[in-house]
Structure 1
Amino acid sequence: MKRIERRANRRLRPRLNGRRWTDTVAGLVVPLVALAIWQWVAINGWVNPQVLPAPLAVWHKWVDYLLPLAPYAQFGDGGWLTWAVSGELPLDVVASLYRVVVGFVIGAGLALPLGLAMGASPVVYAWMNPLVQVLRPIPPIAYIPLAILWFGLGDPPAVFLIALGAFFPVLMNTVAGVRQVDGIYLRAARNLGAGRITLFVRVILPAAVPYILSGVRIGIGTAFIVVIVSEMIAVNDGLGYRILEAREYFWSDKIIAGMISIGLLGLAIDIGMNRLNNHLLRWHRGLEH
């Protein structure tokens, strides 16, 4: 059977790869048309270049924003040859990703066990759900004054806001995944003599994994949105800070270049999370190939 499945997968791979390339090319049509229209409008002078610069101007600014990434050699203490990296964009990307990772790990690390407990225990759900439902609609941005008051400036308030933004998507999806396990699986496991721990580990948790991973994907996307907002207020580096700086000097081309950088980074994160989900859910129906 395994040999037959392997042969079938080998036959399907060229078709799947061809379809992926077709979808990729089709997905590029609309952005390219939009860029062409944008450039055409800018060339004809229909908009003020200070308000909406041409795509080529944005491209040149983005390249200037990125070019210092090239390392240059210098002699440090003791005559050792070292490599130094300068440039705003790579440093801003590293700073933003650091805050996203730390905040997301904290928020998801707190949400996952609480969500499992709320989903598996009606008592915990009855106690915690009212508080969760009151706090959940409050956007993380509303906590900015309190975050600055509690943690001051710098990374701590930004990490707090990011953790808060990632907490509730992971929590709610985990609770939903545990509570929506098919009752047939639970009854079958009990009839086979499964205890509570075995039932939870071998039945409930695997069935809830697709929901949990969906919550993780939404949570990390929310964390990436919150980090941009928090960097505009509490820190002195990062992509959000750089966009705010460009706004103060009315560098609209740099603002758009920063926005494009955020979009590309967010796209890369989402693609990575999607591939990770597909890899972890190979056993799930519809994701075998």
Structure 2
Amino acid sequence: MSEEIDRAAIRAGALDGVSHAFFTRIGGVSQGVYASLNGGVGSNDDTRAVAENRARMAGVLGVAPGRFLVPYQVHSAEAQAVAAPWPEGARPRCDGLVSSTPGLALGVTGADCGVLLFADRRAGVIGAAHAGWKGALTGMVEALVAAMEGLGAKRGDIAAALGPTISAQSYEVGPEFFARFQVEDAGFARFFAPSAQVGHFMFDLPGFIEMRAEQAGIGAFENLRLDTYADETRFFSYRRMTHRKEEDYGRLVAGISLPGGSLSP
């Protein structure tokens, strides 16, 4: 079954030579609104289905399921370094992970928020980050890059890719949202365009994340320009679920691994 997941997964040219995948919703065992490759342990999906889905993703990344590490995401701007799987029930509360340990895979989940993968091939350091509007605004990208530097990476050697994320054409926000960004920097207004509803705006989250990555001084950045809201066949979307008044939604997963280690837990 991992072959179907592998074929549907999306790779970034910026990360060529590094085992990674932006997994779609295709190839899993979940049913209903979670169909089919739901990777969200925080959803109300059957936990056995989510575990099987995660195991299949781990196989694509070349690691044992217990060595595919995904944090408990809290919309923060915090990244942590990991060198081994954590004990049961001790999943760190953060939105970014970095590692230089062979045989580990790092991942993040999303369903409109930005999911990013990072690699410094020369230093052998990888990272994964979840950046919604709050994380992007408060410095998630910068925190992830700094954490990679702590393991020996160099900014100019880091390549990053932004996976499926809600686009500016699909992300309408209110005046209080716009004001929050204006308080931080009036120049952020360039990421907002007037919407059809007076006083509302269309927010370019991918463009904002790309700007933060460029300001962080990394060597290469690729925006895959894939809209989670618009492409229901391949992607889950929190906002689409909200508009339809559905009871829950699946989560997409992005993962990256370092070669080496064992396929056993």
Q: TM-score range by the shorter chain?
A: under 0.3
- TM-score, normalised by the number of residues in structure 1: 0.23
User: Which has a greater percent of strand?
Assistant: 2
Looking at CA atoms only, which structure, 1 or 2, has the larger radius of gyration?
Answer: 1
Q: Which has the higher contact order (CA 8 A, sep 6+)?
A: 2
